[in-house]
Amino acid sequence: MKLGRAAVLGGGPGGLYAARLLKLAQPDCVVDVYEQDAPQTTFGFGVGLAAGTQQNLRTADPGSLADILDHSQPHEMSLRVGDAVARMPNDSLRAIGRTTLLNVLQRHAIAAGTRLHHGQRVDADSVDADLIIAADGVSSAVRDRYAADFGTQISVGDGLYLWCGTDFALPMALFMPVTAAAGTFVTHAYPYAADRSTFLIETDEQTWRAAGFDVTTDALAGGPADASDEVSLRFLEKTFADPLQGHALIGNRTRWLRFRTVHCERWHRGNVVLLGDAAHTAHYSIGSGTKLAMEDAMALVAALAEQHTLPDALSRYEAARRPAVQHLQAVAARSQRWWDTFPGRLGLPVNQLLVSYMTRAGKVPLTRFAESTPHVVRAALASYAPGALPDDRAELPSGEDLINFVIAQPLRRAGTTYPHRTSRPPGTIAEVDFTDTDPWGPKADDALARLEDAVGSGATAIRISGPGRRDDLLNRLNLGERLRGHGLPVIIRGSRQYLPDLAAGLVAGRADLIEVD
Ligand SMILES: Cc1cc2nc3c(=O)[nH]c(=O)nc-3n(C[C@H](O)[C@H](O)[C@H](O)COP(=O)(O)OP(=O)(O)OC[C@H]3O[C@@H](n4cnc5c(N)ncnc54)[C@H](O)[C@@H]3O)c2cc1C
């Protein structure tokens, strides 16, 4: 369908990209972008762009992608705990400064013929256009105003994070926990320019309060909107002095936040459509917010080209995007929980911890990780089953052989040796039938409490059973990780078709033994 006039509210990545693609597809349409901030005043540091995102952007608009890549910084990944480091080479991962990305997208939007109006905060009701694209971010006023129509639900994360940066390029991306007197802080840091790196730092509420950051957060509440929490920055600068190599942490409207996950039952209402963070968010630990916003823009413009009426086009857009968004939100929810509970895993050897990270959301199979990063999986197997791979020259099994290899390893626990990971323990097994969807929620806490009794009355192992779907198995594996703290072997029961998940769970420290149906 042809539009006469489109208004885009919000000049973030989603809004600017939608404006450019729309103008390229419909040169006769007048496209206006309204951005409340002046140019160059955006907040934020770097934004990660994974290989799949780059491929999608290349398909939609090779010109702007080339420009984005020209301004981006490649990086590998690493996980460091104390002095132990696990490295993950990656030749396609890149990051770009948010300001730089917006400059590039602004240039391309203007080059396509759109009109950018900076310094204008606009309300959907005050705009006269055939289509109003509400790309006004996670705090979308458009969405909030019609929250009942959009069926908006916002859930707030337990953990706290802040987003800051430093003035040098880290040699590679770094996940690193540091335990201070107050508790554990973890950074997700990555270079995004020759002289800049992002430091996202997160912690749990107890640590945050113990460090006094509830007080610094409250003190900022009534002050200027662009102020940063300098007390926290100076504290964290000392905490992360080692990876910072003596550099300072730089703030930019930096303050402690809790992540807000936005779900909307509907993404359009009349001629107004939600796009990007306004419609949905996914936890930052999967680095997908910008990707989702820009992919929404592609789908919206494609749906407008395919359909003859605006209602059909907006329904088509939503139908096309919703499955991918829901999938990523589910992955992000698991990832968020993994990070929220991260300090509990610090006892794992670093390479097993990296396997746990990679398999945290059930998205990356152990076999694929072994193909891309064999040295990490080899080292993880060496600590999982000492002696099983006698030296670096011993061949690392692949595919199904790797799964079978993991399961064939013996387990030595509390004086008992189990010949392989499907061995049956002797004695009384404490049974948990877990059907809930949240392995860290109150029902899981109840299951844990009930087990205390069973363990006290002489059980020799714990077995967790439950429904047959893969999601349920992933939940059992997460619960298994919690229960392993008891010291008894934890057996996870699951269907044969999910053997790869069970094997990954063994190496990642979520199970000791498995029982296959
Ligand atoms: C800590 C953190 C780390 C992140 N890391 C990554 C990462 O590594 N990779 C990644 O892909 N994503 C990351 N993201 C997410 C990413 O920043 C967002 O998901 C992405 O910017 C969403 O784009 P958007 O265009 O939908 O919204 P936004 O980028 O939020 O843009 C919305 C724009 O609308 C403007 N606006 C709001 N209301 C109005 C109005 N009424 N009128 C005019 N203008 C208005 C705002 O000023 C803003 O410029 C991260 C986010 C956070 C919080």
DSSP letter string, 128-157: --SEEEE---TT-HHHHHTHHHHTEEEEE-
CA distances from 1 to 31, 303, 310 (A): 15, 9, 7
**Which of the listed residues 100, 267, 284 should we mutate to test ligand 1's pocket, taking the one with most ligand atoms within 8 A of CB?**
284
**pTM for the model:** 0.94
In sequence order, the 6+-apart residues with CB closer than 8 A to the CB of 183 are 203, 204, 206, 207, 210, 211, 343
Q: What is the tens place of the pLDDT at every residue in 416-448? A: 999 999 999 998 999 999 999 999 999 999 888
What single DSSP character describes residue 277? G
pLDDT tens-digit series, residues 469-513: 999 999 999 999 998 887 889 999 999 999 999 999 999 999 999
Q: What local confidence, expressed as pLDDT, does residue 439 receive?
A: 93
Pick the residue whose CA is nearest to atom 14 on ligand 1: 289
Count Cβ atoms within 10 A of the Cβ of residue 254 and give its class: 0-12 exposed, 13-18 middle, 19 or more buried. buried
> Ligand 1 within 6 A of 53 CB?
no
Rounded to the nearest whole angstrom, what is the distance from the C-alpha of residue 261 to the centroid of ligand 1?
13
**Distance (Å, rounded) from C-alpha 97 to C-alpha 73?**
9
User: Hey, whose CA ends up nearest to atom 26 of ligand 1?
Assistant: 276
As given in the structure block, the two tokens for residue 423 are 């061995």
Provide CB contacts within 8 A for 55, sequence distance 6+: none
The ligand 1 atom nearest the CA atom of 289? 19
- Compute, in angstroms, the gap from residue 359 CA to the centroid of ligand 1: 27
Measured from the CB, is residue 97 less than 6 Å from ligand 1?
no
- Indicate the SS3 state at residue 269: strand
In three-state form (DSSP H/G/I as H, E/B as E, the rest C), the secondary structure along 452-471 is: HHHHHCCCCEEEEECCCCHH
pLDDT tens digits, 285-295? 999 999 999 99
Give per-residue pLDDT as tens, 39-74. 766 566 999 999 999 999 999 999 999 999 999 999
Could you tell me the two tokens for 188?
């997700």
Helices and strands counted in the chain (H then E) = 19, 23
Overall average pLDDT of the 149-155 stretch: 97
CB of 32 within 6 A of ligand 1: the answer is: no
pLDDT classification of 340: cutoffs 50, 70, 90: very high
